Chains A and B, each alone.
Chain A
């Protein structure tokens, strides 16, 4: 016993417990990072897997047996007391009880699409093969059993018939294609005409503002009227085409029954996808998984962003980051070159440098405030007065938009680029510089032909880090140009092609908005995980690229300076 306590004391004195505790801190941090990434990955990727549809019955508080049908979302263990308080019959000897969250869908029929059900009182789970999961354009998913397909109100195929499934698939595909065509017409053709109309209106207003009068005015107005008439004619044509398609989409209907036997008629035009997950094999499910994942990346959002894809958000983020890079790279690099190569080194420069470095640590919301006040209200307001008087009082640049968002982020990431570039310039051995000067090159030649090319990887690192930071930043963007739902993309086929004044959608803001501002948190949750996953992957890839470039760079100059 004595020896044991001795050994404990000596173990304690050796400091080993402290070392282990410190090691534990590292391990805990690592576990947290990896766990967090794993959580996002599992939830995010899991969202697209076609879940099986379970069917069972449940005894509610009043002792009635209800049919339950849907996807099991998750389960948790709760103390039985809580369940009893809510009026459920739980056996007295059972201290804990499991409950399941079931996604029942059918929001238009039952109005509650997510419900918790206790394990006690629940029947065996069954997975009926014929159960349908229908993704709809409105009201979310629908779960039910097929009955028949109707065309123009007449039944053409009954469930159980040979060609029923084939008919179902074909008609669903047809309506999806028609819908796609409809969207194309609305976006491209009608969008183009609207854009042209709006420009004509502004042109007309401009004429008034410029004070043109007499024959000149009459001529210009006649010209505008002619062009307007032409556009009107085009519009009538397009509209006729559109109306025809709309009529076609209304042809087919699917008749189904819900779990409790109620008949529900679903028009095919509202159907995005019909599937029978319980009848699908792993291969078929994988196919649909990929399809859904692809759709998520390339489609537009539906149902107040809680369903559909996130393409506009990805596109908005990327466009914003590109515009930002175009602004921040030259200025950041030039500033770094100035600070390192041209400015007189001294106490003032040291202060400036510390200040610039510290701006990287200034809260991003402060940049947002500055962007909103200075860029949007002051600069934007002045630009509108000078260049867009015809559209006032509707602001063009005097309102948050893509350009101001990019400019604000450029300001925010300037310190990152400057620091990184300066570091790169400092790393270049002075021998190289002196060699160039000794051969008679001017300072500018040395700089631009020798030093800067050698430092490009450092600049790249800075730019990538800047992009990674910008892509994940949300707080300032909420003030200077990001919105919940942008009506169109900032780049399209209409003049001037890149719409710098337009508001954009953003992945990070999408996460915030869908997760915290949407009416149904449960419905939105999987989509938020999936969006987070896309954002995290983007940022991790960018960061790993930056780390790799930096490490390579260090290796390179280690050998060069030896």
Chain B
């Protein structure tokens, strides 16, 4: 000030910024304002976008399940591997889809480049000199055995083998031929008769061969090959004659299963025969089953050899199971029919590691089918003559087709998730080795040959079961607690109760799960009578105390004002629980011969230690605070003038509660229950730890369950990225997301409307 004054004489330099500075400052401030506006907007939208991304990403992972299979012919060529004089007997393709192999009638195996058909290696089959090739057969593709049967009763067996090496860091696949029965043909028919049909299968310890001879005899050969130390394969062989088929019947196809127990034969009069060859020296006459679908022209066991893919001259394609009856005898049963082909079925090529197969007909059509999901995946006309051979690659993404004109077609195949269909996820499916259609979840197992069983029904039922029992426990406690706390409790007590409930909500579910699994489950198992008597005695005890309280002298009652009932009840609750537990063993001795759990078993009720009751209590505990908080909020915010009006008109407090408060707040209570349900459906750790996680389909309170969420937690880390199993787990996650999102949104909308109603009242 003094400085200003002293300089009053001269023109004082202004402390204010000059116009230029002010303009700059303004500009800077405007820019900052803009940065803030757009920066915040960008960040905000990014966050909202990121949350939205969850939906899109999950859906994008599930989407390929919905995509239908496709086949695109991208190359057509003729190859010296197949010629018009020798159209070949069998065609295969290696797992890198680079090398095809054609087995010829002349007894050579031509390996050719799948790209252009150029033959680069030829290996000989075991061929009998001075004998003609009269029959051929193949095992399941994973074993890759090819058998030649000759006119002198001998057989030759070989399988393509691929050696993998990485010279100069580049992959090199070198094909070769393996001879499991030696490089020379082996005698099957001692009588030296021509073999008209042959079948082969690799069993766990032996190779099984079956043959039909020119003079209508049936033979079964069992070859156990063992490599000696010197590298010479020694073959021990047993040949058994089988009962022959009735007179005048010609064989069209033969198949052996890998257990060496069954031989299936199709005849030229549309019948199937099943031989039980588990004791080859005592084989009974076969069971005859009419195919009812026409004369069978092609028949192949699918991987695992539990079911047969059968094609007929009418183009009908069906899947047949070996079904076991009560007497432990197997029968052939048609289980599924697929979309028929227009022409006569000429060849069937099963896939290597799943229950799918490719079928070709004599009018140039190729079709793909899948067993478990009953899907006819695709059908396409690829050539105008008959399809002679089909070869699908082991990774199911390329198909070689050879037609009557010795032309090879190479097709790019997209067929990643054939095992998933609406029916395989949600309906009963007849799985191999089962006697009837069932709901089963067993997505993975030790071996490739087992059928993946991916029914979501057991998991959904399990989820609902867990949620149901949790809600049975949580709804009464949560809602009643909310009613009391919002309307009857003294504010002071409410000040303690609300934070306690909030802490209850924050308790990690892993701890609830651990206590449920390791403490509560064994406790309940050992104190079953106590569990039931507590459930029953608690309300009775409360009413008794309430009545006794009303009988007490007024002077005594006046000391405790209204709104403290809950505190009075604490001690009786503890005492009741303690008494029930203490009396439990005595009750068991008196009424249940010492053990109630054993008594349950005797009554035919199965009892798991970790069961739905335990889950219901533990998860109910986790859900109570959700229900309580929201319901309490709704009840507490009912406008006071409504309740006061009711009380002024002479209604009791309870009448006011039932007649005025509850109806007004009922949407809020509904939304509380919805929110609680949403939480129970998605809860993972509690069910993971407090149930046995066995995917069963029932609502027995004493058995466990497996829920969608626990299933994801258990299986997702183990599964192969991009597999059908992986995507089905993503589907489960998406379903959980959608379900909880819808439930929560409904609840939220109800709540918002309720809030608006309160403010208008």
Contact = CB atoms under 8 A, between A and B. Distances in A.
Interface of A: 7-8, 11, 14-34, 36, 39-40, 76-82, 95-96, 330-332, 334-335, 337-339, 341-343, 352, 354-359, 361-370, 372-374, 377, 411, 414-415, 418, 442-445, 447-448, 468-469, 471-475, 478-479, 508-509, 511-512, 515-516, 521, 525, 528, 532, 535-536, 539-540, 543-544, 547
B168 interface: no
A389 to B, nearest CB: 14
B682 A25 contact: no
Contacts of A22: 480-481, 483-484, 488
B506 A361 contact: no
Contact of A363 (B57, B585, B684): B684
Nearest to B483: A22
Interface centre among B36, B40, B515, B588 (most CB of A within 10 A): B40
Contacts of A415: 51
A508 B709 contact: no
Contacts of A535: 508, 510-511
A40 B574 CA distance: 18
Contacts of B740: 358, 361-363, 366
Interface string B486-519: 0011000000010111111011111101110111
A301 to B, nearest CB: 17
Contacts, number: 334
A21 B654 contact: no
A30 B500 contact: yes
B511 A20 contact: no
30 contacts: A18-B657, A26-B485, A26-B489, A26-B497, A29-B624, A29-B628, A30-B497, A33-B500, A34-B500, A36-B507, A78-B526, A81-B595, A96-B585, A330-B43, A334-B39, A361-B744, A362-B736, A362-B740, A363-B683, A363-B736, A366-B733, A367-B54, A369-B730, A370-B58, A372-B717, A443-B37, A472-B510, A472-B511, A479-B716, A508-B510
Contact of A442 (B32, B488, B509, B689): B32
Given A335-B47, A357-B748, A443 B546 contact: no
Interface residues of B, number: 115
Contacts of B653: 15, 19
A468 B44 CA distance: 24
Contact of A536 (B29, B51, B507, B736): B507
B57 A374 contact: yes
B480 A21 contact: yes
A60 to B, nearest CB: 21
B507 A338 contact: no
Contact of B748 (A19, A342, A354, A411): A354
Contact of B515 (A36, A354, A540): A36
Q: Which of B36, B41, B508, B624 has the most CB of A within 10 A?
A: B508
Nearest to B550: A11
B574 A373 contact: no
B66 interface: no
A369 B684 CA distance: 12
Most chain B CB atoms below 10 A, which of A29, A337, A370, A521: A29
Interface stretch (B256-264, B309-317, B565-573): B565-573
A474 B519 contact: no
B480 A25 contact: yes
A384 B504 CA distance: 42
A478 B685 CA distance: 10
B514 A18 contact: no
B45 interface: yes
A411 B504 CA distance: 23
A398 to B, nearest CB: 11
Nearest to A371: B54
Contact of B733 (A8, A40, A79, A369): A369
B54 A15 contact: no
B51 A359 contact: yes
A507 to B, nearest CB: 9
B682 A540 contact: no
A377 B60 CA distance: 14
B737 A363 contact: yes
Interface string B212-234: 00000000000000000000000
Interface of B: 29-30, 32-33, 35-37, 39-41, 43-48, 50-54, 57-58, 61, 476-478, 480-481, 483-485, 488-489, 497, 499-504, 506-511, 513-515, 517-519, 526, 538-539, 542-543, 545-547, 549-550, 565-570, 573-574, 585-586, 588-589, 593-595, 621, 624, 628, 652-655, 657-658, 675, 678-679, 681-685, 688-689, 709, 712-713, 716-717, 721, 729-730, 733, 736-737, 740-741, 744-745, 748-749, 752
B45 to A, nearest CB: 7
Contact of B585 (A79, A448, A512, A532): A79
B749 A354 contact: yes
Nearest to A376: B721
Contacts of B53: 374
A415 B29 CA distance: 32
Contacts of A447: 36
Contacts of B717: 372, 478-479
Given A79-B585, A508-B510, A15 B655 contact: yes
A365 B713 contact: yes
A21 B539 contact: yes
B47 A23 contact: no
A23 B713 contact: no
A214 B197 CA distance: 66
B47 A354 contact: no
Contact of A31 (B570, B658, B679, B721): B570
A365 B679 CA distance: 12
A80 B594 contact: yes
Give 10 closest A-B pairs by Cβ, nearest first: A15-B654, A363-B682, A338-B44, A472-B508, A81-B594, A20-B546, A444-B36, A79-B594, A23-B565, A25-B480
A331 B595 CA distance: 58
Given A11-B550, A342-B41, A356-B51, A39 B480 contact: no
A322 to B, nearest CB: 18
B54 A366 contact: yes
Count chain B CB atoms within 10 A of each CB in A339, A442, A448 and give the residue with the most: A442
Contact of B41 (A343, A358, A359, A418): A343
A82 B594 contact: yes
Contacts of A343: 41, 44
A15 B488 CA distance: 12
A479 B730 CA distance: 13
